[in-house]
């Protein structure tokens, strides 16, 4: 599969780093699978820190009810 040169519009064979028509550098296509996998891992790590309860905060204990005799 060939791509098209951004400068002159000529067909550039896959794997070539320069256009055979004008000699302009051809940018390689970005592979989205590794980028998507990396972003998914980052999102999962961030989500795990956000949803993790704070263990350092003391737990609130309910107060004992005060009876009428103690008032």
Report the predicted TM-score, pTM, of the whole model to 2 decimal places.
0.39
- Per the DSSP assignment, residues forming a β-bridge with 20 are none
DSSP state of 25: B
What is the pLDDT, as a whole number, of residue 10?
Answer: 87
Neighbours of 31 (CB within 10 A): 8
pLDDT string in tens for the chain (71-residue length): 678 888 898 898 888 889 988 989 988 777 889 889 999 999 999 998 888 766 665 666 777 777 766 66
What is the pLDDT, as a whole number, of residue 42?
Answer: 97
């Amino acid at each position: 599969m060939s791509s098209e040169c951004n400068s002159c519009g000529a067909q550039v064979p896959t794997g070539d780093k320069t256009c055979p028509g004008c000699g302009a550098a051809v940018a390689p296509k970005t592979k989205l699978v590794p980028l998507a996998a990396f972003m998914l891992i980052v999102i999962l790590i961030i989500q795990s820190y956000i949803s993790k309860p704070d263990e350092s905060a003391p737990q609130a204990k309910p107060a004992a009810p005060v009876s009428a005799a103690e008032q």
